[in-house]
Amino acid sequence: MLCLCYNVPRGSAREIFNDVTVFDLITDDITSFESQFPHCNFIICGDFNSIGGVKPDYVKNKSMHLNDLMPDKYTKDLPLPIQNQDKVVNTN
């Protein structure tokens, strides 16, 4: 199941219209869909309005957790240094 989302940035004028976080909504939706479609896989994508400063924009050590899922010829990703001059990190 393909799930699309938009996370309103913290401090946005639209933030006052949200009673719960987008992450709570996604969790509730996945729980609901799993009960209706027990063998369904999910892909969640969209604009999460993340500001990561110089933090990595990938999952560190992901191959440790995915070794059984990756094809035999899988080549690990090589991390590239972040070139962002903005050091700000948000809490979304």
**Intra-chain end-to-end CA distance of the chain, in Å:** 24
Q: What percent of the chain has pLDDT over 70?
A: 77
Strand, helix or coil for residue 14: helix
2, HSE (Cβ side, Cα atoms, 13 Å) = 2
CB of 24 within 8 A of CB of 65? no
**Residue-range domain boundaries for the chain:** 2-51
The string of pLDDT tens digits covering residues 66-85 is 666 677 777 777 777 777 66
Alpha carbon 59 to chain centroid distance? Answer: 10
* Digit-coded pLDDT (tens) for 20-55: 888 888 899 999 999 999 888 888 888 887 777 777
